[in-house]
Structure 1
């Protein structure tokens, strides 16, 4: 009995050993849990870097349309006088009166046709300005100085409606510049015009992984709707 009693542990020794065992076990479990958390923690640290790398590079798209057609001018109604009537010119460019509103003598607000992009529907609103210039002053670079009058078109403001905060791009630029004029060579008149459109945006993380060629195809389908 004495030998068995010598081998047995007193309550205090049992508490010490059990306490050491439980402490070591908790440390092992903690190390195991910590090791299991490392991949997730590393992934969380990498996510902002991936997001920034994607969002820093903006996607840009551009388009240019030119017009060069012969036309006949009546002696009593020249094309230059027609360009002076900016509301009439605007109605010829944007005939849908239900989607436009005149803001002042030179500016109109236009509700563009909806843009369908994957599962999103965007409704752009733009403010367009028309200016009639003459005498070669402040003409666009592509317009000859000898042209009597030119009507110049540009966008002064834009807004994207219908997007949630999650899908709204952190950066969006839309630029449209155009010119319309008559170039005369003797008795022959030609109607000439140029329209340039540039669009740049930083895609939100939800759609940043969409292939660029897919976005380009969508942009190509959007341009005629936006311009017309």
Structure 2
């Protein structure tokens, strides 16, 4: 190491000793010294600088996306005095049937409610989303989603226009998290018997923390898809169970009014 340091400064020392043999009175000493300084400066300046390499961690930038889609197709027993179309018009009732826990919901306006959802477990993360759920009714084929036939009399659309995360600021950047939920529900009377049909799609996308990025991709995908499938199946049970149960109650109420 000492040899390297001595060799590095050798050119400057050599010029300095040459200067001592000159006449100091004629100002050549100053000139020689400046030349030596310039030579030293040039040596320092010309020494190649180490290259800087920018390393980007693609695992922490590329978002992981997990989605699931499920359909509903079950018998629908209507009565002339209590058609399912009329039941769909009562959006507050529809919402309360699907989300009966009033302590975790708040009505925002005629079509929207804010819900504090139960924690969603994604891999080893627990996500606490607060979502704004919007319910809209459409009829006579007006602006129906692609999966709904145009001759359906009425369709209920479900989507989440806004949401936020709680409790994960130090783990998942909210700006790197996306939640999409879209659903439809409608009566189908095109066959011999009425049927209740619907589609529900949920998608979650987020940038993995560095620790999770080390998990093999096939393992992450398998776990993520499993969680998403379970979530949409739970929501489907709310429709197939709670909603149809409340519709039966709606039919009884209509029948009692006619008596």
How big is the shift at 1:117?
Answer: 4.4
Report the structure, 1 or 2, having the larger strand content. Answer: 1
TM-score (norm 1): 0.73
Q: Does the Cα contact within 8 Å between 2:183 and 2:198 map onto a contact in 1?
A: yes
CA contact (8 A) 1:168 1:204 kept: no
Aligned pair partner of 2:184 in 171, 179, 183: 179
- Given that residues 164 and 174 in structure 2 are in contact (C-alpha distance below 8 angstroms), is that contact kept between their aligned partners in structure 1? no
In structure 2, what is the Cα distance between the partners aligned to 1:185 and 1:130?
24
The C-alpha deviation readout for 1:158-203, integer Å capped at 9, x for no partner, is 1111113344365221111110000103652110000011222221
Deviations 1:101-125 (A, max 9, x none): 1111111111111123465432111
Shift of 1:138: 0.7
Correspondent of 1:143 among 144, 148, 155: 148
TM-score (norm 2): 0.65
What is residue 98 of structure 2 aligned with on the other side?
93
1:190 and 1:136, CA in 2 relative to 1: closer, same or farther beyond 3 A?
Answer: same
**For residues 117 and 185 of structure 1, what CA distance do their matches in structure 2 show?**
40
Where do 5+ consecutive residues of structure 2 fail to align? 9-49, 236-259
Give the whole-Å Cα distance in 2 for the aligned partners of 1:122 and 1:129. Answer: 21
Task: Answer 1 or 2: which has greater helix percent.
Answer: 2
Matched, 1:106 2:111: yes
Taking the aligned partners of 1:149 and 1:166, their CA distance within structure 2 comes to: 43
User: 1:154 aligned to 2:132?
Assistant: no
The unaligned stretches of length 5 or more in structure 1 are 1-22, 31-40
Given the alignment of the two structures, is residue 198 of structure 1 paired with residue 203 of structure 2, yes or no?
A: yes
CA offsets 1:11-51 (integer angstroms, 9 cap, x no match): xxxxxxxxxxxx936838x9xxxxxxxxxx99x956x42x2
Distance (Å, rounded) in 2 between the aligned partners of 1:215 and 1:140: 31
**Cα displacement (A) at 1:209:** 1.6
Q: How far apart are residue 223 of structure 1 and its match?
A: 5.0
Matched, 1:221 2:199: no
Runs of 4+ with >6 A deviation:
none
Match of 2:22 in 1: none
